[in-house]
Amino acid sequence: NNNINTEDLAMYDTLKFILLEEDLDNKVCFIEEVSCRLTDVKYYNNRVVGRIKNMQVDIRGTTLIVEGSLTKWFLGNNYERFLLLWEIRAAIRRLGSALGVPIEKAKVSRMDIAFNFRVNNLPWLYLTKLLYSDGYHRSNIKKDTLYFDRYDCQLLFYDKIQELCSSKNKEEVATVREIFEGINVLRYEFRFKKVTSIFNGVVRGEQLYNQSFCLLALDKWYHCYMDINKGYDDDFQFFRLDSKKAFELSCVAYCSARLDIYNILEEAFVRRDIDSKNKYDIKDVLRKADELMKDVSNSTSLIDELTKKIDNAYVMLKRRYNVSPARMELLNRLYNNVS
């Protein structure tokens, strides 16, 4: 599908659910009743590990742990588009049906929300402009991946296409290359590592499709980006490097912006250090340099480009997730009738 919009929120990417048999009044034995639904199953002493589609499932005695991308579970990938409120509910219910347990009752111990941005330049260029955020440790082990880390949460920025192309699935890589040919995609993920701590209480699966909770998580995602101290493009960002002539003219423009070249030129002519032809030729160079740099002066800085995209996404998503109770009830009824 070449019409995929690369600027849509996955909203919930990786989630980690923990469900105890006692949460279900011990009516289900996970090792006996869930393990038979899994693939790639490995048995250990009082422990079973397996998968159900993209979700990793770990049964440890009377504890069930399910971890993976909810969006990928529901859509088959985590870059095509974001999930609407009723789809989040549908995804969690379907996951529960596949496992034979009510995942909406499970505790959420990790939660990632993420957005893909189509950007004009290579993603790593934007990462150099995200400088620091109070209380977070900044690190970028690789040029194209940047972390802001804290004990309870983490902000992550990286080249989404490069990440997708690192897959061992050759067919998936070929599809990605076709879809994103000539496109730069930067992904911003916010990882809630200590969900209970951040939201001041246990979060259950059923809260993930609650309107107020979605908006609260979205606010955290947005404001933590806005709190980052950002660097803006320096003078050298605007030097033209696409040709020798353009570089020479951009150097002239750089000097002209800092020195009164026209006045210096006029003084040199009055002192007869240069003749009228020299003066005309130099003025012509200055004029060409000014014309060349008009496009640059009107261009948007890297960080302004990214911030505007995050602003637009935030406004759009608040509107999408601000669903009236009556409409949400209608969507839930429609889902219940088809599931």
Question: Digits of tens for pLDDT over the chain (339 positions)?
Answer: 434 443 444 578 899 999 999 999 878 899 999 999 999 999 988 899 999 999 999 999 999 999 999 988 888 776 666 777 888 888 999 999 999 999 999 999 999 998 889 899 899 989 988 988 999 999 987 888 999 999 999 999 999 888 778 777 777 777 777 777 788 989 999 999 999 999 999 999 999 988 889 999 999 999 999 999 987 655 555 666 778 888 888 788 778 767 778 788 888 888 889 898 998 998 898 888 877 766 655 556 888 999 999 999 899 888 877 766 666 666 666 656 545
Residues 77/161, Cβ–Cβ less than 8 Å: no
pTM: 0.75
232 vs 41: CA distance, rounded Å: 51
* Identity of the amino acid at 286: L
* Collapsed DSSP state (helix, strand, coil) of residue 137: strand
Within 13 Å of residue 221, how many CA atoms lie on the same side as its CB?
29
| CA 253/CA 125 separation, integer angstroms | 24
User: CA angle 103-109-115, nearest 5°?
Assistant: 90
